[in-house]
Structures are given as C-alpha cells and as structure tokens.
Amino acid sequence: MTAQNQTPVTAESLQSEITRHLKLSLGKDPKHASLYDWRMSLSLALRDQVVEPWFASTRQTYEGKHKRVYYLSMEFLIGRLIEDVTINLDVEGVAVEAMSALGQDYYTVVANEPDAALGNGGLGRLAACFMDSLATLAIPAYGYGIRYEHGLFEQHFENGQQTETAEGWLAQRHVWEFERPEVAYNIHFGGYVSDEGGKAHWHPAETVLASAYDTPVVGWKGKWANTLRLWAAKPVKLFDLDSFNRGDYVGANAPERLARTISRVLYPDDTTQDGKELRLKQEYFFTSASIKDLLRRFLSEGNKIEDLPNHVAIQLNDTHPAIAGPELVRLLIDKHDLSEEAAIDTARQCLAYTNHTLLPEALESWPEDLFARILPRHHRIIQMIQERHLQQTGSHVRIIEHGNVKMGELAFVMAHHVNGVSALHSELVKETVFSDLHAAYPDRILNQTNGITPRRWLYSCNPALRGLINDTIGTAWHTDLEQLQDLNAHLDDASFQQAFRAAKATNKDRMAKWLKDRNGITLDTSAMFDIQIKRIHEYKRQHMNILETIALWNEIRDNPTANWTPRVKIFGGKAAPGYALAKSIIHLINDVAATINNDPVTKDLLQVVYPENYNVSMAEILIPASDLSEQISTAGKEASGTGNMKLSLNGSPTIGTLDGANVEIREHVGAENFFLFGLTAQEADAKRGEHGYSRRAIESSPVLSRVLGQIAAGVFSAGDRYRYSDILHNLYEHDYFLLSCDFDEYFAKQREVDAVYQDVPRWTRMAAANTAGMGWFSSDRTIRGYAKDIWGTASVI
C-alpha cells in the first residue's frame, strides 16, 4: 500500500477501532471509561491511520535514494496532536461523529490532551510549523531534538507574581510516539585526547545513552509523513552494583542521575549562567546522537562518505546545535579517515545555519576552559577549523576569543549558507553581528522570511473563518494560501462583511466562554479584544502596553462620558524564571488589572486580563478572537515574530513598529491596513547615542510622566512606592529599548485605532484585508525557499 491510496476512514470504522483500543490497549469496559481512556483510545485509533503513510513515505525515500533534510532544534513546540492529525488526515468530521456515537464529545476529548510544551516561544513553534510544511510538501525530513521529561515550566500567578512549577506532559502515557530501544548511541563527555600514530584518540570520562523516540508527522491529506525523532538520555549501565555492595546506596544511582538530568528540563532561553555546563551537555547530547544517526542511515544505503552532501542537508535551528560542525568533522576524520581539509569541506557542504536573534545575551558562547573540559576533542577541532578559516580568508574574526568559544561564529564558518528570518533581520545580520564574516564570505548570508502553517493557524483553530472563506472563494487556499487574495474582491461587499464580523463574534464568544470556565472572568465581547501574546521581554515592550493602558484609564476617568471605544487588553506569556525585570512587568500588569478592573467609573470601558500559563493551545483560542494585534517591539530587536503573522491571518490588524516581519506584513496587507508608529531601527540606534534621551522624553510627555508618577506613588501597589522602582529606574536612566521615546506616538496611534474601530465597515474591511493579504506567510512558502536556496531538495511526489 502507498500513502496515496489508503482505504478511507469512516465514522463506523473509526468507532470500532476506538472501541477496540479501549478494550485491548486500555483494558477498559466502555461503561467505566474515563475522559483519559477515551482520549487514549481515540489517539491510538488515529495513530493507526498515520502508520501506513509513514511507512510508505519512508520506503519511497529509501527506494528513490532521495536527499533528506535533517532539522536540528533544541525546541519543537508542537502543542496538542489529536486535532493536528484529524485535520491533516481530513477526518475531523468523522472523528466528531464516531465519538458522538460513543456518547463522547470530540472537542472535550481534544481539550483533555496536554500540550507537548517542548519549546519556549517562536523558535520552537517555527520548528513545529516547518515539520508540518515539510510533510505537506513531501520533502523527506527528520526533525531531531530532545525528549524533555519536563517541557517549559507551568506558570502560576500568586498575588500577581509569576511562580513556576515543573511541567509534566509525560506524566501520562504519550501515545503518539514509538520507542526505539534498538536505536541508541553512546554519547561521551570529558576525559582527554591522546595522539597515537598520528591520530587523535578521545578517552572520554563519562558516557550516556541517547535513545530514540519517534513521532510520525503527517502532512495534508495524509499523503506524506516524516519523523520527529527525539532523544532521551539513559544510563549506559543501569545501576552501579559495586558501589551498592560497598554500602554506597546514593553513589549506586549516580549513572542514572547524570543521564536523566540531561533530558530532564528545557532551559528557558534568555537566562543567566545557570546550568551552563548542563546546557552544553544537552546540546552536544542531541546533536551528536543526530549526526551519528544520520551517518548510520546514509552508510546503510551503501553510499560513499564523500557523497554525504548529495544525500544530507542539515539545518541548524539557531546556534544550539552548532557543535554539529565539529562533531561531523570529528567523525569524518577519526572514524572515516578523511583528511582535515576534506572533512571540513564535506561537513560544510551539508550544514546550514539559521540565525534567530541579534540580542547579545542570546548569542551563545562558552568559557573555553569549560568547553575544553567537556569536549576536549572538539576543542582541538575548533582550533583547527579556526586556523583554516583565518588562513583562507585573511579575516581577523576568531571563533575562540578572549577565553570564549563563540557558537555563532562557529556555525557561520561551518555553514554553506546562513539565513536570517525576515528581510530586515537578514540585512541587520549582515550589517551588525556578522558584518566581518559577511565581508569574508559575501555569498553566505541569505534571507528566508518565517512562515506559519495555515493548517493549524487558520484551518484548524478558526473553523468559523475557514467556513466563510470556503464559501467565498472555494478551497484552493488549503494548499495554496496565496489564493486568499481572492477575498480582496469581496472586501466591500456588505454581506461578506457581515459574515466576517459574525465569524469574529463566534470566536470572541468561544474565547469568553473558555475564560469564564477557566478563570471565572466575564468578558464584554462587544469590546475590542486587544491582544499581546508572546514571551515577556523588555524588547517586546509589554510594559509600554500596560503604561498605555494606565494612560487610557486616566483619560477615561478625566472625561468618562466621552465617546470611548471599549477595550479588553489581553496579555499572555511567560518570563524566563531568572529574568527579574520581566517578572516585574508581569507583576505590574496584574496589579494594574486588579486596580482598573475594580474601578466602577471605567469598568464598562476598560478591562485587563492576563490568563496564566500561555501555551500553544491557549494561542489557538485567543488568536481567532483578536481584534487588534500588538507587535510593538523596539525596531531592530524582534528578528521576525510569527505571532504577528498568526494574528493578522486571522483578521486582526496590527499596531506595530517597523520591526522584523512586521515590515513585510505591512507590505502584503497594505499600509492602510496597519497601524504604524515608532522609531525605525536606524533612528533607534541614533537615539541611543543622544545623552539623557529617556529622561528628556519622559519630561516632555505629560501623559507618560503622569503614569510613571502614579506608579511611583504606589497607586497600583497598595501605596508601596518601591515595588516598581526597578522598572522606573530602568526607564529614566537607561531605557535601552526606547519605550520613553516611542510612547507618545504609540498612545496617539491607539486613539486612531479607537476611532477606526467605531467605523464598523472600515474596520471590517481592514480586518478582512489582513486575512486576504497574508497568504505569502505560509510556512509552505518558507520551506520551498529553504529547499530551493539552501538544501537542494524538492517534493518527491
């Protein structure tokens, strides 16, 4: 059987498979089955449907000797999978019917699935969208990452402050994966290197086992399926019996402890030095296992090692897997006897690197002594790579400098292409962090603007809008999102406009119900839903949003009977646990919410909500319900953004700066459908050169001065004048992210938003024009770009 001609699933066949799994896999009588049991049985029945296409795709790749893409990423933020599979297999209706015949509500069952939260934010979600597009486009590919026992932490608010608890997605059985005990590699750390007979020998001190777990990733209509292979760390020997017999019961468990620690937690990014050593071990652990695995597959097909670049394209998702370069070189020299030059050359032809940030704290570097201690052989190899790079290019850029091993430089030197993630970002990569390397390798940097999978971020999460689009322009957009531009012909049509508003109203009602059930909060669905959802970070400027909220509150209180546009300000996002200022921002938002939401004067006009523990499945509810998308980062700091794309695609115009992919979104949806404000990246840089710019900007803004004065007076902190002195000090003294300079323009632009929102046909037109204009931002387009410009691969069916 091939993937393309599988027997269609019917409600009856699915129902009987669910019942069979309930009895035989779960051991439950339907009479006593819990929600969990139903979810497991449904998942298993659906998983069965994926297996054939998966086998067929794998067979086809082997038989056709097709080049494979290997996407190496520390994060895969895949979220829930039931809905993903039913949508891609086109069996959602069938699943709803089958569950209903069994007396179960399909959507309740779906909502019972925990999110696989194996990522922090955009970078991890991008990897998940890319896996979806690779499968849809039938490009043979493997995603390689870590099977973290605990994904990103669970966020709670206690008295308005973020607290964190361990996340337990694996506490219940994870039925989507297949354990592969036979696919395991020894991964070594530490020790020393000796030279014997002209060859280097690494004598490691520690070894753990990387053991594979495979999840099939099925594409649209089940025509193709790829593999997400996640590595779990296990001890090489289960138990140290010698230690136990000596009475050292704790020491006896040491091998298990080291191993489990490696794949235990996902590190929140943007953090401090904590756990540096462990993080380096995690990176090497999954990268080494992946490289060994792809080499084994390549050699098992009877290929010659020199042919590697014709069969293998390795994409490094940020610098986290940058050790792939030296690891591949090491294996080619030490195990396959290639010369140094041939090894570097071969490795480089396989490797490409995506840069996702210009923020200095996110560009990884390791203290050289730590690095040399954990990976002594790689340390030498990097020195060798550096020497050749310096000699060949005459460049002065070193990979190891001032006692640090710089992973961005390493990834750059070892990659045949380096890409940024939006047009602006790729230019800034050339002009700033990698300007010298760009001069040495002028053809290396290119751009691939990010994208999002329309299957999850429109088709699945927004059935109301999906239905309207199908009725209006047909269904060709399901595989070719740019067809959405056909909606442009209907933008001024009154009945289309009314239906568009009805779809938005449905989504707002759905979100309001969700929030009521979850937190007991009542939302005014006739108010504008103004949404900012993303990690909490100074550069993203959630604090500018909450200061603007206070300013609006002041204005309403000054003049309560004016013609105000009611708004609900909605925030969602986590702060890295070690990032104190981001945590203060969360506290401030919650404090302001407590004050404003209890003000009888403004309560029908302004509300602030911040549901805790933002994740992918929350985004799937919030995004379709949004009226206004906040993309207000300091220009030059958001590499791309992908939430901006999801919101705009779902008919939510942006208020934003010329940053990251906002620039291209504005071009595609039309400047008249985008609320632009703020300094450009160049102006922002120039501004930072002006002495005392922030204090001057604050003093010349009566609106902002008043807000900051209220915070300083303890208006939102029960009289506590010092609760927010960190934020205030930061803004007055070194407002690097230029909140003070952009604030007035932002506030004025928000009042323009208020006015346009009251002009219902105009607003509807803008919102629908956003949907119509966003087709280019499908991750299918992005993946085609990578395939053509970087990997040299294509669809194989």
CA–CA distance, 207 with 204 (Å, rounded to integer): 7
Question: CA 12, 15, 20 angle in degrees (round to 5)?
Answer: 125
Burial 172-193 (b: 16+ CB within 10 A, else e): eebbbbeeeeebbbebbbebeb
Q: Which two tokens stand for residue 273?
A: 């030095």
287, 642, 654, 771: which is the annotated catalytic residue? 642
Sign of the C-alpha dihedral, residues 150, 319, 329, 301? Answer: positive
Q: Which is nearer to ligand GL2, 123 or 461 (CB)?
A: 123
Q: Which is nearer to ligand GL2, 460 or 642 (CB)?
A: 642
Q: Assess whether 642 carries a catalytic annotation.
A: yes
Helices (H), ranges, 487-563? 494-519, 542-558
Burial 617-654 (b: 16+ CB within 10 A, else e): bbbbbbbbbbbbbbbbbbbbbbbbbbbbbbbbbbbbbb
CA–CA distance, 263 with 794 (Å, rounded to integer): 33
Sign of the C-alpha dihedral, residues 541, 545, 546, 552? Answer: positive
For the bound state, the minimum distance from the C-beta of residue 633 to ligand GL2, rounded and expressed in Å, comes to 8
CA–CA distance, 410 with 323 (Å, rounded to integer): 8
CA distances from 624 to 115, 509, 763 (A): 19, 11, 16
- Residues contacting 210, CB < 8 A, separation 6+: 184, 185, 186, 187, 231, 232, 233, 234, 285, 286, 288, 289
Q: Which is nearer to ligand GL2, 288 or 422 (CB)?
A: 422
Q: Which is nearer to ligand GL2, 328 or 684 (CB)?
A: 684
Q: Which is nearer to ligand GL2, 469 or 536 (CB)?
A: 536
Q: Which is nearer to ligand GL2, 187 or 635 (CB)?
A: 635
For the bound state, the minimum distance from the C-beta of residue 422 to ligand GL2, rounded and expressed in Å, comes to 8
Chain position whose Cβ is nearest to ligand GL2: 122
Q: Which is nearer to ligand GL2, 305 or 359 (CB)?
A: 359
For the bound state, the minimum distance from the C-beta of residue 609 to ligand GL2, rounded and expressed in Å, comes to 23
For the bound state, the minimum distance from the C-beta of residue 504 to ligand GL2, rounded and expressed in Å, comes to 25
For the bound state, the minimum distance from the C-beta of residue 116 to ligand GL2, rounded and expressed in Å, comes to 17
- Report the interhelical angle of 542-558 vs 739-758 (nearest 10°): 60
Q: Assess whether 478 carries a catalytic annotation.
A: no
534, 583, 587, 723: which is the annotated catalytic residue? 534
For the bound state, the minimum distance from the C-beta of residue 575 to ligand GL2, rounded and expressed in Å, comes to 13
Residues 352, 416: contact at Cβ < 8 Å? yes
Residues 568, 523: contact at Cβ < 8 Å? yes
Q: Which is nearer to ligand GL2, 42 or 428 (CB)?
A: 428
User: What's the chain's length in residues?
Assistant: 797
377, 406, 535, 723: which is the annotated catalytic residue? 535
For the bound state, the minimum distance from the C-beta of residue 624 to ligand GL2, rounded and expressed in Å, comes to 20
Residues 109, 18: contact at Cβ < 8 Å? no
540, 637, 666, 723: which is the annotated catalytic residue? 540
For the bound state, the minimum distance from the C-beta of residue 566 to ligand GL2, rounded and expressed in Å, comes to 31
CA 310 to chain centre: 30
CA–CA distance, 710 with 716 (Å, rounded to integer): 8
Which residue ranges make up the site for ligand GL2 (CB under 6 A)? 120-123, 126, 269, 356-357, 362, 421, 450, 638-642, 660
For the bound state, the minimum distance from the C-beta of residue 425 to ligand GL2, rounded and expressed in Å, comes to 8
Match 């014997």 to its residue by tokens.
196
Question: CA 230, 234, 235 angle in degrees (round to 5)?
Answer: 160
356, 456, 478, 687: which is the annotated catalytic residue? 356
Q: Which is nearer to ligand GL2, 46 or 429 (CB)?
A: 429
Q: Assess whether 534 carries a catalytic annotation.
A: yes
Q: Could you tell me the end-to-end alpha-carbon distance of the chain, in angstroms, rounded to an integer?
A: 15
For the bound state, the minimum distance from the C-beta of residue 657 to ligand GL2, rounded and expressed in Å, comes to 13
Q: Assess whether 356 carries a catalytic annotation.
A: yes
455, 574, 646, 765: which is the annotated catalytic residue? 646
Q: Which is nearer to ligand GL2, 162 or 317 (CB)?
A: 317
Helices (H), ranges, 78-151? 82-88, 92-101, 106-111, 122-136
Question: Which residues share a beta bridge with 76?
Answer: 118
DSSP 460: I
- The catalytic residue positions are 356, 534-535, 540, 642, 646
